[in-house]
Structure 1
Amino acid sequence: MNVPNAVATAEPIELKPVPRRGALYRVQHEGKTSYLFGTIHVGKQAFFPLEPEVTSALAHASSLVLELDTRVHEPFQRALAKYGSYPAGESITRHLSPHALARLERALAKAGIPLSNVEGYRPWLVANILVGGEIEKHGYHRNNGVEGFLLSAAEKQKKRVRELETADYQLSLFASLDDAQQEQYLLENLDDLDNGKAVQKSAGLIDAWSTADAARIAVLARELTSGDTVSATFMDRTLLRQRNPQMTAHIEAIMRSDEVAFVGIGLLHLVGEDSIPELLRRRGYAVEQMY
């Protein structure tokens, strides 16, 4: 066999371009440049590696900035116990109406989770566990979240990793919901599990992220934060509007140093009139959406 000829006549291998994902911004002020990249906290292995504009921006940065460093588990577990659990001896069964408890028991049975496994948890945490489990069943996993990819790259490049928030602060936000609001939050999420909207909402946003579909991302963000439900109000007022100014101030402080920061932050923080890009623009920063 003439090996060289065989190789020469073989079909060329086509390398597909890596698609754009998420949303990428360049932020400039007083001669300094940083980047904002919208992340998702669950995903698929097929989403990686990220495309060259993102990986190049990260390579040129001197630090990676995330909401939390997800490699550090202890502070998160402490905060989860502090804000997500009842004091010893208390049970969720004493904090829910009979109707809500019956709904919860049915949902737990469907998910294959014994009530005894979660009865020490507060309703908001049980709701999030159930929704998270359903999303995982559809192929979206936390270990394929964008933060893990960014952290792995930063480790290889020996970059400093900074946090914009603390786990204690993030989880304390859920403690702002009183018992009645937590029950309603649980019931709304159980409704979304029953009618398929829980997966529809999450998968829709993840899929829009995976194709960098800015128009679709904006539409879904409005849907998630509009209306008078406890879930939408909490997302809009507390998880986004309350946190965005504080995150923006922290990003400003980092940019005042000599660092070029690559800021990976939850996608919804980059969308809307009170988003972090808009807040930076109002403070005199030049903010360009690269895609």
Structure 2
Amino acid sequence: MRKLNQITFIIVVFIATTFNIVAQNNPKTNLWKIEGDNIKTSYLFGTIHMIPKKDFIVKDKVQKAFESSDKVVLEIDMDDPNYKVDFMKLSMLNEGESLKTYMSDDEFKILDTYLKEKTGVGVNNFNTFKPMMLMSVLTMTAIGGGPLESYEMSIINMAKSANKEVSGLENITDQINAFDEDPYEEQIDTLVEMVDNGNSEELYNQLLQYYLAEDVDGMYDFMDDYMNDDIEGMKRFLDDRNNKWIPKMEAYSKDNAVFYAVGGAHLGGDQGVISLLKKAGYTLTPILD
């Protein structure tokens, strides 16, 4: 369970948490106004990267914040024409490598059987990819059946319709490298645990309820309950990234009113984006309705 809970939720929302927790008491909202002397008024919106279509909604307050902004900034500029090519390239193993070589025969059988049952294709279809690609597929099955929506893709489409430029706080290389620091054999162990344990759907649904309630602190505390066993991993996936984002947000908002959209659990906690922006001297106002 140690690696299972950590990695499962990292891939679902690409977030983690920190061991050094300071009590937070944020109002229940996923949308915040950012103000300061040296920036244009901007907005911070917390997303959940994949969500069942039946639960997906862009509220009026989010639409208004988007419309009042000049520019859109996501974690990664997924509208970049090179994004898909770079993602596929960075997700693949080195030439001559095979995913199957990183797992035992028993592990291959467990994963192959599960994948064929859930998706109709087996491990061999992913044999040239890194384990994170398999993890992504397995995690998608945890969200359940039915159509899915992406806040990021929806926001990109809104930006295109409104002729707003889209940029990113980091690039796909940064995110892939974070996964590559864990040995592939350990990642395979996590995949097998994920299948054997079978509670990923329940955990995702709990996280989803916090998101739908716009409970930033609830999301943060929930993540801590399941990801508090790898301090360095937590720092790598959350704290370091958040801290790198702040100067980039300052630069983006210097000349533009920006609509920022990042994973919701990046917002809470002492090293969360809300707290870090306040420490940097900016005023964060919750937009409740």
User: Could you tell me which residue of structure 2 aligns to residue 259 of structure 1?
Assistant: 256
Q: Deviations over 1:222-264 (max 9, x none)?
A: 2343235xxx964x22221121111122111112x22111101
Change (3 A) 1:153 1:267: same
Q: Is 2:51–2:150's contact at 8 Å kept on the other side of the alignment?
A: yes
Q: Is 2:42–2:258's contact at 8 Å kept on the other side of the alignment?
A: yes
SS in 1 for 2:96: coil
The two structures, once aligned, show a CA RMSD in angstroms of 2.5
> Of 64, 68, 72, which aligns to 2:72?
64
The number of residues matched between the two structures is 259
How many percent of aligned residue pairs carry the same amino acid? 23
Q: Radius of gyration: which is bigger?
A: 1
Distance in 2, matches of 1:122 and 1:204, equals 28
Which stretches of structure 1, 4 residues or longer, exceed 6 Å deviation after superposition?
A: none
Distance in 2, matches of 1:243 and 1:49, equals 27
Gaps (5+ residues) in structure 1? 1-20
Q: Deviations over 1:164-216 (max 9, x none)?
A: 1112222222111123432333233334xx42x21122222223222323453
Query: Which amino acid in structure 1 is aligned with residue 92 of structure 2?
Result: S
Higher RCO structure, 1 or 2 (CA under 8 Å, sep 6+): 2
> Of 223, 236, 247, which aligns to 1:249?
247
> Of 78, 82, 94, which aligns to 2:86?
78
Distance in 2, matches of 1:22 and 1:45, equals 20
Q: Deviations over 1:21-54 (max 9, x none)?
A: 9611111110632110001111233445522211
> Of 35, 52, 55, which aligns to 1:28?
35
Change (3 A) 1:225 1:45: same
Q: Deviations over 1:104-137 (max 9, x none)?
A: 23322332322321122222321221221342x4
TM-score by length of 2: 0.79
Query: Which amino acid in structure 1 is aligned with residue 33 of structure 2?
Result: R
Q: Is 1:42–1:140's contact at 8 Å kept on the other side of the alignment?
A: no
Query: Which amino acid in structure 2 is aligned with residue 202 of structure 1?
Result: Y
> Of 182, 185, 190, which aligns to 1:185?
190
Gaps (5+ residues) in structure 2? 1-27
User: Could you tell me which residue of structure 2 aligns to residue 131 of structure 1?
Assistant: 139
Q: Is 2:139–2:200's contact at 8 Å kept on the other side of the alignment?
A: yes
**1:109 counterpart = 2:116:** yes
